[in-house]
Amino acid sequence: MQIEANRTMCPVCDGARLEVSPLFHHMICAYVGPAYDFTVTAAGYACPKCRHDIMSTDGTCEIVGTSARCSRCGREMIVSPPGK
């Protein structure tokens, strides 16, 4: 499901709290997922698929978009880029 960037309520359950998170692409293993899928470590993050450590200056990981998750029903969705 995809939602507009200015949306504040869940389109599924009308919950009023959407947790917005960057969408990471780990190029080493091709995993794409929201930041909350990645384990926070002292160095930055660890990939949930390959367990490789990712530092903030690591060129093998990029932000490719934004995701949102409803704190009420748990539904996940992609956030449209502004102006699209």
Task: Note the pLDDT of residue 39.
Answer: 95
Long-range contacts of 73-76 (CB under 8 A, 24+ apart): 73/10, 73/12, 73/13, 73/15, 75/1, 75/10, 75/12, 75/13, 76/1, 76/34
Domain encompassing residue 51: 2-79
**Joined tokens for residue 34:** 């929201």
pLDDT (tens digit per residue) in 29-71: 999 999 999 999 998 899 999 999 998 788 899 999 999 999 9
| Residue 84 in domain | no
pLDDT (tens digit per residue) in 6-23: 888 999 999 888 999 999
| Residue 14 in domain | yes
CA 65 to chain centre: 7
Domain count, the chain: 1
